[in-house]
């Protein structure tokens, strides 16, 4: 398969300190087209780096700005059109902004890590929750 047929995408596991000051919350988005709860992510545009795409996707899908952190393991799978897809992920701390529904994302929820893990639709996305916790110096037990 040639390199042109591989879909390259990037996204973030977006987090913030909880308003109560106890722990963190993770942002999950709902895409009605796919009926799934997932992380902000999307395809790279021509000439864009994975890091630039990850930050852009957070902005476009959540209305928020973020600060990239640690790169997490990539996801590899076959997309709905039968093409191989690679999604590179980073941790990202939300730094500002407000969510408004858009043509792709109808809802955003902030959940503690355990609730986020349970609500995520895809197992590949669920696998990133304990890795985020470890990158922030927290224990998997907090999941």
Residue 89: give its domain's CATH number: 3.90.79.10
In this structure, is residue 136 part of a structural domain? yes
Nearest-angstrom CA–CA distance, 99 and 86: 26
In this structure, is residue 23 part of a structural domain? yes
Residues 6+ apart with CB under 8 A from 21: none
Kindly state the average pLDDT of the residues 70-87: 92
The 10s digit of each residue's pLDDT in 95-114 is 999 999 999 999 999 999 99
Strand-pair category, 64-78 with 7-17: unpaired
What is the pTM for the complete model shown? 0.90
Kindly state the average pLDDT of the residues 12-30: 95
- What is the span of the domain harbouring residue 58? 9-142
In this structure, is residue 3 part of a structural domain? no
In this structure, is residue 2 part of a structural domain? no
In this structure, is residue 1 part of a structural domain? no
* Range of lowest pLDDT (79-83, 105-109, 117-121): 79-83
Q: How many domains does the chain have?
A: 1
In this structure, is residue 81 part of a structural domain? yes
In this structure, is residue 83 part of a structural domain? yes
The sign of the dihedral angle between the CA atoms of 87, 88, 91, 92 is negative
């Amino acid at each position: 398969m040639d390199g042109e047929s591989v879909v390259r995408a990037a996204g973030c596991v977006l987090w913030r300190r909880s308003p109560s000051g106890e722990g963190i919350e993770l942002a999950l988005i709902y895409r009605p087209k796919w009926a799934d709860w997932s992380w902000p992510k999307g395809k790279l545009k021509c000439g864009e780096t994975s890091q630039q795409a990850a930050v852009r996707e957070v902005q476009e899908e959540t209305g928020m700005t973020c600060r990239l952190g640690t790169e997490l393991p990539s996801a590899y799978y076959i997309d709905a059109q039968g093409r191989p897809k690679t999604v590179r992920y980073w941790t990202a701390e939300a730094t500002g902004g407000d969510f408004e529904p858009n043509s792709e994302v109808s809802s955003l929820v902030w959940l503690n890590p355990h609730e986020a893990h349970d609500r995520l639709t895809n197992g590949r996305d669920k696998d990133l929750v304990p890795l985020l916790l470890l990158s922030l110096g927290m224990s998997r037990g907090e999941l």
